[in-house]
Amino acid sequence: MNNSPGISLHNFAVSISSHDSGHDGPERYGYSPFIAQYFDSHNSETHQHDEPGRVVRVDRNLVLTAVGSGILHLPYPLDDGIPVTGDWVWIGPNRGGDRQITGILPRRSELSRKRAFEDSSGAQVLAANMDVVGVVDGEGSDLVLVPLAVGEAAVPCQACQQCVRLGDGLLR
pLDDT in tens, 52-94: 999 999 998 899 999 999 999 999 987 778 999 999 999 999 8
Share of residues in the chain with pLDDT > 90 (%)? 35
C-alpha–C-alpha distance, residues 91 and 66, integer Å: 10
Burial 48-72 (b: 16+ CB within 10 A, else e): eebbbbbbbebeeeebebbbbeeeb
In order of their start, the domains of the chain are 9-104 (2.40.50), 110-160 (no CATH)
Return the pLDDT at 14. Answer: 38
User: Which of 4-13, 66-75, 108-117, 128-137 is predicted least confidently?
Assistant: 4-13
C-alpha–C-alpha distance, residues 172 and 154, integer Å: 23
pTM of the model: 0.69
Segment 35-45, tens digit of pLDDT:
999 998 988 77
C-alpha–C-alpha distance, residues 64 and 87, integer Å: 11
The answer to whether the beta carbons of residues 92 and 104 sit under 8 Å apart is no
Cβ neighbourhood burial of 129 (10 Å; 0-12, 13-18, 19+): buried
Burial 79-112 (b: 16+ CB within 10 A, else e): eeeebbbbbbbbbbeeeeeebbbbbbbebbbbbb
